[in-house]
């Protein structure tokens, strides 16, 4: 059910911080990858073209702080750190997959719109 403009304005102060956390630059990709199976840090880094080690570390800490992923340290030689999705994080799987499907379905439309916009000048 769509929200009215007044409902959006009323709830914005409480919803905005939540949306900023889950829609952060790398969060959607990280959570989508972890929905498939737990992954180690370097496996995530390899899957996410363009992310720096620092950015991945910060994103993982943010997601863990928000209860969306879990970090498990295994005492082996060398020490292994694995990240997995929590039940709360898994509740985002369907919305993220819907967003991903939308992006796949409309990527050509977006490119056309960008070209039209860029050619207006």
120 — pLDDT class (breaks 50, 70, 90): very high
> Residue 80's pLDDT is what?
87
Give residue limits of the domains in the chain: 5-119
- pLDDT tens per residue across span 69-119: 999 998 988 888 999 999 999 999 999 889 889 999 999 999 999 999 999
Distance CA 94, CA 7 (A): 24
The answer on pLDDT for 121 being more than 90 is: no
5-119 maps to which CATH number?
Answer: 1.10.10.10
Q: Give φ, ψ of 22 to 5 degrees.
A: -80, -20
**Residue 1: predicted pLDDT:** 61
Q: What are phi and psi of 75, to 5 degrees?
A: -80, 95
9-64 pLDDT, tens digit per residue, is: 898 888 888 888 888 889 988 998 999 999 999 999 999 989 999 999 999 999 99
- Give the Cα-Cα-Cα angle 21, 109, 99 (nearest 5 degrees): 30
């Amino acid at each position: 059910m769509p929200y009215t403009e007044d409902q959006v304005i009323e709830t914005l102060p409480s919803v905005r911080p939540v949306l900023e956390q889950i829609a952060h630059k790398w969060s959607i990709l990280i959570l989508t990858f972890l929905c498939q199976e737990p992954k180690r840090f370097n496996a995530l880094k390899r899957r996410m073209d363009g992310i720096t080690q620092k950015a991945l570390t910060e994103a993982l800490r943010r997601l863990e702080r928000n209860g969306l992923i879990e970090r498990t340290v295994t005492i082996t030689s060398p020490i292994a750190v694995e990240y997995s999705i929590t039940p709360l994080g898994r509740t985002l799987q369907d919305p993220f997959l819907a967003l991903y499907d939308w992006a796949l379905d409309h990527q050509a439309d977006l490119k056309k719109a960008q070209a039209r916009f860029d050619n207006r000048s």
